[in-house]
Amino acid sequence: MRHHGRMHAQPGVGLRPDAPWGYLPASSFRSRRSALSDAQRQTWERLWPQLGRQADAGETPGETPDTPLDTRAWFGRSAPLVLEIGCGSGTSTLAMAQAEPDIDVIAVEIYRRGLAQLLCAIDAEQVGNIRLIRGNGVDVLKDLIAPRSLTGVRVFFPDPWPKARHHKRRLLQTGTVSLIADRLLPGGVLHAATDHPGYAEHIGAVGDAEPRLVRADPDSESLPISISRPTTKYETKAQEAGSHVCEFVWKRI
């Protein structure tokens, strides 16, 4: 299965200490270069200045790379805010944003082509509640998102880094989950999904170990965001191959 939010770390990059959340996955990544089509390039040039930004560029006037985003100014309204880390080409992002027009969504992705595909879909469907950031999700959380500002965080099919020596590169680790919990509002939701059994066990363990998060039961309690996500073609292929998708939903207490 192609993992929608796959981020590739440079070989040899390990973990770094970063108080107060301990160790976070290394954030030095190689950005895959892939050419955009003419239509994608034209849409990018037209819409990116308004709807997108580079995580480490401080592009918005008055902002530096370590200044939290002014999301009210960016979206032009005050609304519950969801951060999706690793949106890929944005199939789930677009569908879930369309289903919840009263919620603002920031989609984070390393790869320009995936963001360009999402930008074209936003343009075609005239969806107004999505903004895009190109960069590493950990850096976005740490530098651009204020504490207790997110209603939800979504992480769908992150790279499982299946080899044991690469487990330190996995996105959802103790430090990252602690950082996510810090950025969530009380009652805010962390929604994760993976089709990799070993990573599922790991995600469940680190999520349950975070003292500010408790498992949520969507069937018996009301949540501030929907956890109903579309099944993408990549997930369908995985299911046809016998892979089982594990869903995790935690709520900040």
Q: Give the catalytic positions in this structure.
A: 159
Query: From CA 52, how far away is CA 106, in angstroms rounded?
Result: 9
136 carries a ligand binding annotation: yes
237 carries a ligand binding annotation: no
Residue 178 contacts residue 22 (beta carbons within 8 Å): yes
240 carries a ligand binding annotation: no
- Report helix, strand or coil for 104: strand
159 carries a ligand binding annotation: yes
Q: How many CA atoms lie within 13 A of 124 on its CB side?
A: 10
Residue 243 contacts residue 236 (beta carbons within 8 Å): no
185 closest CA partner among 103, 107, 66: 103
Query: From CA 52, how far away is CA 95, in angstroms rounded?
Result: 19
84 carries a ligand binding annotation: yes
124 closest CA partner among 52, 45, 40: 40
Query: From CA 241, how far away is CA 239, in angstroms rounded?
Result: 5
210 carries a ligand binding annotation: no
Six-digit token pair at 242?
Answer: 């016998």
Residue ranges at the known binding site for S-adenosyl-L-methionine: 84, 109, 136, 159
Residue ranges at the known binding site for substrate: 163, 195, 232-235
Residue ranges at the known binding site: 84, 109, 136, 159, 163, 195, 232-235
